[in-house]
């Protein structure tokens, strides 16, 4: 590749400053927001790909993609421009960049003292490189000793990515090592860099295979550097300052699209296993699962049908029902629905070469095409070869949606599980329809799963327009949060996976994928022993997605009742999840409405406390619940560092209060997951232990955790029917609370907004068992209050 060096100012207009580089390329710098700029290089003044599917500041993008040069959806603020022969300086109120000769950029932000402070600068000995043959690109920046790197989506190992090299090349990484395997399923070349007390985000909007080196590589001829390199496409990146890590994550979500607000039942337990649908009597085994849940008193909201229901012999054929295994799909679906369980079915975007519909689909031109011959591309897929559907062809989208509707939705299966969608097509020049403008697959591999999940979503929406859709996808790219819940793929059963899957989930959450989880118990390899299974379930119930799924080597099944001796512990762990479902649902609302991560590393809300940046097995679900997972065999107590939050923390079980900024030892018997609650918070709980049904959810307990001594805290609780779009028309309830305390008493002020009337008309108010101060609710000494009383108190009504 050739280094770009000399430049001259070309023009500046419409918040875009353009330079001519090496007399042939055009360097564009866009001022998008006060705290966000964008850099785009046009090789020979042309783009390799003229559109994007990741950038969605206005909600979503057209099916055919967003014009890459569009600035719609950004505020395009005023900026200051200073130029001379050797420098161009562009500055807003929050961010400043200096472009120098040879082509290098220095980024600064306005710190709390109102001074410009360095964030990062490009490597002075060569920052921007282009392959002279029109393929590869690279970008080098300086690397500093005190930097911490986060993000990159779904990656193995520690949460801080410093010192390692990563690859983005979506793979079906069956049985991966959660501490080291790379690459994995998703493509999110986004980093958060923290140094000098500030954080900035860097997102490369390029969908070809790429590498990010964050300190693994050294070269004596250069100062320490970090590197981004892609095999093809455009050098196009967004740079934005926090200044806090949380600010960067939220900005990235606003850049790439808001989190889908799924139904409440999607937060309940979802069962799954390869074993049932692979069995010759699959329907019998699936129906037996319902009976076993009832027999063992296990709450469950849904079941995910693995692909065995489509089999012919040992292979899988999407949209093909094996009626020998499942003779009556509609009868089976009705049985699940009658028991309160929803169904999701596994679907795959590749048709094997002997698929019953292969010739029909090939004749219609719905596959990605071979690079040299006028035939469908052929790739290895599920122990055979097959061809991948081309979702950049509107005819393919229609075919897919017709089959989702006729083969699943009309069968009573309301949700889709979009799986094995990594698009491992290694003919880089294989041709995609491109909505009428042909694109090589090398430019858009991760877009294919994005469009696949969108096609499934829209089919579900058309079939059931009054219901919020739920669907899952394993692979994808930045922006997939607009459509799906996701998980960390086919993990391997061991203690290492339990530990590092947690960090993997936190990494995804920092990268905009808030609604995530893991295959609890481990998907592949040996079955978990009883202790490991308990600890994995305890960890899993504290993730947004809670699914037990397996394909054990010995043909066993990971089920809640797989070890009778520990079934009571598993049951209690799952009951805790259901008691906390109002809290989880509120977190999903915050993720959708306010772009707040659900899973949160300890430092996200406590950056002032440097100790929270240490690698840890602990995490927060929402801002208020600290989860101290047990990830070591035989461990029966846990050291937990409590972040310094000024107000302290309570033990969830005993109510004991602890000051923050210290390490404590908490009991961790096998039957208990250590949990702590932030002082100054409220945890809503339900008494309903069963599948989600708004009409039957008749109780609500608001557990308040007051500050010690004098203090005030406030917040709100969201709820609605859990399924419809009524909240968009005010058919929801927002319960506002203010908690004021001093040494003598605790006062709560409660009020409600919204038109929705939940089944829980009475509210129980509780305090920690250790709290002795009297409680007053809206001026009255009561421990329970009705919504009617709140609604009738005009002084306390809001909105």
CATH number at residue 43: 2.60.40.1760
Is the same domain home to 652 and 761?
A: no
Q: Enter the tokens of residue 344.
A: 């999701």
Closest to 547 measured CA to CA, from 259, 333, 266:
266
pLDDT of residue 240 exceeding 70, the answer is yes
Q: How large a percentage of the chain has pLDDT more than 90? A: 96
The pLDDT of residue 134: 72
Is the same domain home to 133 and 49?
A: yes
Is the same domain home to 132 and 65?
A: yes
Closest to 309 measured CA to CA, from 295, 292, 328:
328
| Torsion sign (Cα): 177, 182, 186, 192 | positive
Domain end (from 643, 678, 713): 678
Is the same domain home to 650 and 761?
A: no
Q: Are 502 and 544 in contact (CB under 8 A)?
A: no
Q: Are 528 and 556 in contact (CB under 8 A)?
A: no
Q: Is residue 766 part of a domain?
A: yes
Q: Is residue 543 part of a domain?
A: no
Q: For the chain, what is the domain count?
A: 3
Mean pLDDT of 124-142: 93
Is the same domain home to 643 and 784?
A: no
Q: Is residue 615 part of a domain?
A: yes
Residue 307 exposed, middle or buried by CB count within 10 Å (0-12, 13-18, 19+): buried
Q: Enter the tokens of residue 192.
A: 């958060």
Q: Is residue 279 part of a domain?
A: no
Q: Report the alpha-carbon distance of residue 246 to residue 514 in Å, rounded.
A: 13
Domain end (from 678, 711, 727): 678
Q: Are 426 and 379 in contact (CB under 8 A)?
A: yes
Q: Is residue 548 part of a domain?
A: no
Residue 197 exposed, middle or buried by CB count within 10 Å (0-12, 13-18, 19+): middle
Mean pLDDT of the chain: 96
Q: Is residue 351 part of a domain?
A: no
Is the same domain home to 738 and 792?
A: yes
pLDDT in tens, 625-678: 999 999 999 999 999 999 999 999 999 999 999 999 999 999 999 999 999 999
Q: Is residue 27 part of a domain?
A: yes
The pLDDT of residue 792: 60
Residue 684 exposed, middle or buried by CB count within 10 Å (0-12, 13-18, 19+): buried
SS3 478: coil
C-beta atoms surrounding 523 within 10 Å: 26
Is the same domain home to 714 and 666?
A: no
Closest to 212 measured CA to CA, from 150, 286, 258, 268:
150
pLDDT in tens, 74-88: 999 999 999 988 999
Is the same domain home to 67 and 213?
A: yes
Domain end (from 256, 279, 310): 256
Q: Enter the tokens of residue 247.
A: 């600010």
Mean pLDDT of 347-356: 98
Is the same domain home to 641 and 728?
A: no
Q: Report the alpha-carbon distance of residue 365 to residue 358 in Å, rounded.
A: 11
SS3 697: coil
Q: Report the alpha-carbon distance of residue 379 to residue 66 in Å, rounded.
A: 29
CATH number at residue 634: 2.60.40.1180
Is the same domain home to 10 and 118?
A: yes
Per-residue pLDDT band at 795 (split at 50, 70, 90)? very low
Rg of the Cα atoms in the chain: 27
The structure tokens 């290089």 sit at 41
Total count of residues recorded for the chain: 799
Q: Residues 6 or more apart from 127 whose CB is under 8 A from it?
A: 3, 4, 103, 104, 105, 139, 140, 141
Q: Enter the tokens of residue 572.
A: 């209690």
Q: Are 732 and 756 in contact (CB under 8 A)?
A: yes
| Triad 257, 261, 263: Cα angle to 5° | 155
Q: Report the alpha-carbon distance of residue 295 to residue 293 in Å, rounded.
A: 6
pLDDT of residue 682 exceeding 90, the answer is yes
| Triad 274, 277, 278: Cα angle to 5° | 75
Is the same domain home to 670 and 717?
A: no
Domain encompassing residue 20:
2-152+188-256
Closest to 151 measured CA to CA, from 38, 251, 260:
251
Mean pLDDT of 413-439: 98
Q: Report the alpha-carbon distance of residue 267 to residue 262 in Å, rounded.
A: 9
Is the same domain home to 94 and 198?
A: yes
The H or E element that residue 249 is part of is: helix 245-256
The pLDDT of residue 196: 85
Q: Are 362 and 368 in contact (CB under 8 A)?
A: no
Q: Is residue 48 part of a domain?
A: yes
Burial 27-57 (b: 16+ CB within 10 A, else e): bbbbbbbbbbbbbbbbbeeebbbebbbbbbb
More confident residue, 146 or 448: 448
């Amino acid at each position: 590749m050739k280094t770009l060096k000399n430049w001259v100012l070309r023009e500046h207009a419409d918040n875009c400053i353009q330079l001519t580089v090496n007399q042939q390329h055009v360097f564009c710098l866009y001022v998008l927001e006060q705290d966000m700029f964008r850099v785009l290089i046009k090789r020979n003044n042309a783009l390799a790909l003229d559109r994007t599917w990741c950038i969605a500041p206005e909600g979503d993008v057209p099916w055919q993609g967003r014009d890459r040069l569009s600035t719609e959806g950004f505020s395009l603020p005023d900026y200051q421009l200073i130029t001379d022969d050797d420098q161009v300086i562009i500055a807003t109120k929050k961010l400043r960049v200096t472009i120098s000769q040879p082509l290098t950029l220095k980024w600064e932000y306005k710190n709390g003292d109102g001074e410009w402070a360095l964030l990062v600068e490009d490597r002075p000995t060569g920052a921007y490189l282009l392959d002279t043959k029109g393929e590869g690109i690279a970008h080098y920046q300086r690397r500093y000793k005190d930097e911490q790197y986060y993000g990159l989506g779904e990656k193995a190992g520690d949460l801080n990515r410093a010192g390692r090299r990563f690859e983005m090349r979506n793979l079906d990484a069956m049985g991966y090592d959660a501490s080291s395997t790379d690459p994995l399923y998703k493509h999110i070349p986004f980093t958060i860099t923290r140094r000098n007390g500030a954080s900035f985000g860097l997102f490369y909007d390029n969908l070809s295979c790429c590498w990010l080196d964050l300190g693994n590589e050294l070269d004596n001829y250069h100062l320490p550097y970090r590197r981004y390199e892609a095999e093809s496409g455009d050098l196009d990146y967004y740079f934005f300052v926090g200044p806090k890590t949380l600010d960067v994550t939220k900005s990235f979500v606003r850049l790439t699209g808001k989190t889908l607000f799924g139904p409440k039942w999607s937060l309940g337990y979802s069962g799954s296993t390869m074993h049932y649908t692979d069995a010759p009597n699959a329907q019998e085994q699936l129906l037996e699962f319902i009976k076993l849940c009832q027999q063992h008193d296990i709450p469950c909201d849904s079941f995910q049908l693995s692909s065995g229901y489509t089999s012919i012999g040992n292979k899988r054929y999407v949209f093909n029902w094996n009626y020998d295994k499942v003779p009556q799909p509609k009868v089976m679906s009705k049985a699940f629905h009658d028991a309160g369980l929803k169904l999701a079915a596994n679907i795959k975007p590749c048709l094997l070469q002997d698929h019953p519909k292969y010739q029909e689909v090939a004749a219609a031109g719905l596959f990605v095409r071979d690079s040299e011959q006028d035939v469908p591309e052929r790739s290895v897929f599920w122990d055979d070869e097959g061809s991948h559907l081309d979702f950049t062809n509107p005819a393919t989208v229609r075919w897919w949606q017709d089959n989702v509707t006729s083969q699943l939705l009309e069968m009573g299966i309301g949700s889709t599980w979009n799986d094995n969608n990594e698009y491992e097509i290694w003919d880089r020049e294989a041709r995609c329809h491109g909505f009428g403008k042909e694109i090589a697959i090398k430019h858009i591999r991760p877009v294919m799963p994005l469009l696949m999940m969108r096609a499934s979503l829209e089919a579900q929406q058309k079939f059931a327009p009054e219901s919020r859709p739920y669907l899952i996808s394993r692979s994808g790219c930045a922006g997939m949060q607009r459509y799906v819940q996701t998980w960390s793929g086919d993990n391997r059963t061991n203690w290492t996976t339990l530990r590092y899957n947690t960090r993997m989930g936190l990494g995804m959450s920092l990268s905009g994928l808030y609604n995530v989880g893991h295959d609890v118990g481990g998907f592949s390899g040996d079955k978990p022993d009883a202790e490991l299974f308990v600890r994995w379930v305890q960890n899993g119930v504290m993730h947004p997605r809670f699914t037990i799924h397996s394909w054990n080597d010995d043909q066993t099944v990971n089920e809640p009742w797989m070890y009778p001796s520990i079934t009571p512990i598993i049951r209690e762990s799952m009951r805790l999840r259901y008691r906390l479902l109002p809290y989880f649902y509120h977190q999903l609302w915050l993720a959708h409405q306010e772009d707040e991560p659900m899973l949160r590393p300890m430092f996200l809300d406590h950056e002032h406390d440097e100790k929270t940046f240490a690698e840890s097995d602990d995490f927060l679900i929402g801002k208020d619940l600290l989860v101290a997972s047990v990830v070591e065999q035989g461990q029966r107590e846990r050291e937990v560092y409590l972040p310094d939050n000024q107000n302290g923390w309570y033990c969830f079980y005993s109510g004991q209060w602890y000051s923050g900024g210290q390490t404590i030892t908490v009991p961790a018997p096998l039957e208990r997951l250590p949990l702590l609650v932030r002082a100054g918070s409220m945890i809503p709980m339900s008494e309903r232990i069963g599948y989600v049904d708004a009409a039957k959810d008749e109780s609500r307990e608001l557990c308040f955790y007051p500050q010690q001594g004098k203090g005030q805290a406030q917040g709100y609780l969201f709820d609605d029917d859990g399924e419809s779009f009524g909240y968009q028309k005010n058919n929801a309830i927002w319960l506002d609370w203010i908690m004021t305390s001093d040494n003598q008493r605790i006062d709560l002020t409660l009020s409600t907004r919204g038109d929705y009337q939940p089944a829980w008309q009475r509210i129980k108010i509780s305090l920690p068992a250790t709290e002795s101060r009297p409680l007053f609710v809206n001026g009255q000494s009561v421990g329970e209050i009705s919504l009617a009383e709140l609604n009738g108190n005009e002084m306390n009504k809001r909105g």
